Amino acid sequence: MRKLPFFFILSMSIIIFHGTAFADSAILQDPGTGQLYQRIDAQITWHDARDACLASSGYLATITSQAENDFVFTSVGVLGQDHWLGATEELVEGTWVWVTGEPWSYTNWGTGQPNNFGEDQDYLSFWYNEASKWNDQSSVIPLPRPNWGYICEWDPECRITGDCDDSNACTINECIDWECQSSALDCDDLDDCTDDSCDSVSGCVNICNASGPNNLCCNQTACAGAPVCQGGYSQGPS
């Protein structure tokens, strides 16, 4: 009889060992930097993972400090799974570079790594064998690759400061789900006697419209049908 793989269900995510992919992680934000990360589970090459992150307006994760390494692995990593990261030495053997061009200074290699096994391990990953440690990998290991994935990183528009100011007094700018979102400022002063508009520098402009419908009066409740408005403003013939 064929045996089914042994699995656990944990926090609504399915983790299946020995050959079946894990469930993708949620997109999580590092509270210290505002950066966003997600683990995507796919048995693809480093180059395809790089391109997939770029297609989603992000990039393969670049890890430049111990604090960032700890957050990324603890939040979206999975022990027992390899995850592509955004570094390579494919241009110059022994010279590792991040895909973003950030300085290569911090490293977190696993035991005996990098070892360039097979003379073609030019791509960085978290290592399934040691939690949060790095390994050099070949991008052309024959597929399928069990328990494999990659980690994308995004620079949020507004980070944790919520700074979305576009210098336009006629828009309301908010940081929602780590992205700047704008909506038009509502300049309606609920006075039917004014024309309402907005100036991008000064904001709302509410101007008396003496020749508006029914000769309505400024800054008063609309007085259609009455010969005189409140406050003594003349409406004219009803």
Residue 158: band (very low, low, confident or very high) from pLDDT cuts 50, 70, 90: low
pLDDT per position as a tens digit, 116-140? 777 778 999 998 888 899 999 888 7
**Domains delineated in the chain:** 7-154 (3.10.100.10)
| pLDDT at site 175 | 73
| pLDDT at site 107 | 97
**DSSP annotation string for the chain:** -PPPPPEEEETTEEEE-SSSPPPPPPPEE-TTT--EEEEEE----HHHHHHHHHHTT-EE----SHHHHHHHHHHH--TT-EEEEEEE-SSSTT--EETT--------B-TT----GGG---EEEE-TTSTT-EEEE-TTPPSP-TTEEEEEEE--SSTTTT----S-TTEEEEEETTEEEEEE-----S-TTEEEEEETTTEEEEEE-TTSGGGPPTTS---TT-SB-GGG-B----
Residue 23: band (very low, low, confident or very high) from pLDDT cuts 50, 70, 90: confident
> Mean of the pLDDT values across residues 140-163?
72
pLDDT per position as a tens digit, 163-214? 678 888 899 887 766 667 888 989 988 876 777 899 989 889 887 765 555 4
Contact 88, 96 (CB under 8 A): yes
Residue 156: band (very low, low, confident or very high) from pLDDT cuts 50, 70, 90: confident
pLDDT per position as a tens digit, 34-87? 899 999 998 889 999 999 999 888 899 999 999 999 999 999 988 888 899 999
